[in-house]
A and B are shown apart, each in its own frame.
Chain A
Amino acid sequence: MRTKTSMRLGVGLAAASVFAMAACADPDDDQLVVNEEIEMITEAAAPDHMERVRTIYSGWRFRSDETQAVQMDDFDNPAMIWVDAAAEVWETADGTEGNSCASCHESVDSMEGVRAVYPKWNEAAGEVRTLEMQVNDCRENQMGAEPWKYDGGDMTNMVALISSVSRGLPVNVAIDGPAQSTWEQGKDLYYTRFGQLELSCANCHEDSYGLHIRSDHLSQGQINGFPTYRLKNTKLNSVHSRFKGCIRDTRAHTFAPGSPEFVALELYVASRGNGLSVEGPSVRN
């Protein structure tokens, strides 16, 4: 009888330690190389403005080996289907001016490095602009075409195409000068608790990364991998769609994709990833 009890206790302890291990699953030590060619920086010293985090990690490091592998080869990465689709759109004239993206920008390779520095201050417009805003500016003013829906498929595909040529380059958004006030606004939003659950971005992605939120392994919420192909909805997801999803999950009314609040938040969150490689389009669960 006595033996039986101690055995049960032993099993209980083992189960508890397994749980403890799973609950503190920090990022793994895997190396991300895409197409055996593009070496990604998935771990870097945190930028100076981050007071409470020492090291920043790409969300890739928090995913399972199987999910990680899908991103390591463009043929396996389902996001590349939409990148290909956008490459055709890049060459296709639209609107009253008879221009395509290629009419001015020629090859999409000319966009190398662009993703890494957006959102970015636009002097002429007097505002911080995301890549999506810039694409629609081109469509309206250079092409005479209808603007795309901010987080619609056409837009997200195009952003994925533009991101894909910057893969491997370190994110480097400017947060000083004229962009500073927008950045401050974004930082305020990051630390503001929203919704019935009263959660801020920081509660999960700064205080609790590495822990599990139900079955999901919380990352630092870096956006260097956007647009992201998610296994859960089998499509490309834009940054603002993800923000919207997160705020909705706190049971709050969310801001709209493309709203000034989300633009500011995007600048701030992007700046938290300064130093990580651009990975978009990445694969996450």
Chain B
Amino acid sequence: MATGVKPRVKVPKTASAGEAVTIKTLISHKMESGQRKDDDGNIIPRSIINRFTADFNGQNVIDVTLEPAISTNPFFEFEAIVAETGTFTFTWYDDDGSVYEETKEIEVS
């Protein structure tokens, strides 16, 4: 079970229709690769975020598969074109079955 997991996202509050907005996301997570050993030589079990998705008004914007080589606290920055006012939903899937979700509203004028 991963501890200290906290998702963060940054989405502009307003945009004009059709504008490509920059979205930044970060989730604090150990991203234990499963390749390391502890002091006694036992393998530390893998515990990573394995999938990240962003949806806008129910439509998928980005869907990422994460692999063990990705570093601690994975950060994603991407652009999305927004046509109307709506809600971004960000979802992170943990190896341990946890799902972390965060939503942000954006107003389009």
Binding site for B on A (CB under 8 A): 75-76, 78, 81, 84-85
Contact = CB atoms under 8 A, between A and B. Distances in A.
B6 A75 contact: no
13 contacts: A75-B8, A75-B10, A75-B24, A75-B26, A76-B24, A78-B73, A81-B26, A81-B28, A81-B73, A84-B6, A84-B28, A85-B4, A85-B28
Category for how many chain B residues contact A:
under 10
Given A75-B26, A81-B28, 11 more contacts: A75-B8, A75-B10, A75-B24, A76-B24, A78-B73, A81-B26, A81-B73, A84-B6, A84-B28, A85-B4, A85-B28
Contacts of B24: 75-76
Contacts of B28: 81, 84-85
Contacts of B26: 75, 81
Contacts of A84: 6, 28
Contacts of B10: 75
A33 B24 CA distance: 19
Identify whether the interface residues of B are mostly helix, strand, loop, or mixed: strand
A81 B8 CA distance: 10
A200 to B, nearest CB: 37
Interface in B14-38: 24, 26, 28
A84 B8 CA distance: 11
A202 B4 CA distance: 42
A78 B28 CA distance: 10
A78 B24 CA distance: 13
B23 to A, nearest CB: 10
Contacts of A78: 73
Nearest to A76: B24
A81 B72 CA distance: 11
A231 to B, nearest CB: 13
A76 B10 CA distance: 10
Contacts of A76: 24
* Most chain B CB neighbours (cut-off 10 Å) among A76, A81, A84, A85: A81
Nearest to B9: A75
A84 B26 CA distance: 13
Nearest to A81: B28
A75 B73 CA distance: 12
A76 B26 CA distance: 9
Interface in B41-98: 73
A84 B10 CA distance: 15
B88 to A, nearest CB: 15
A75 B22 CA distance: 13
A81 B10 CA distance: 14
The 4 tightest CB contacts between A and B, nearest first, are A75-B10, A81-B28, A75-B24, A81-B73
B24 to A, nearest CB: 5
A220 to B, nearest CB: 31
A109 B94 CA distance: 34
A78 B74 CA distance: 11
Contacts of B6: 84
Contacts of A81: 26, 28, 73
Nearest to B27: A81
A129 B28 CA distance: 33
A150 to B, nearest CB: 23
A85 B8 CA distance: 13
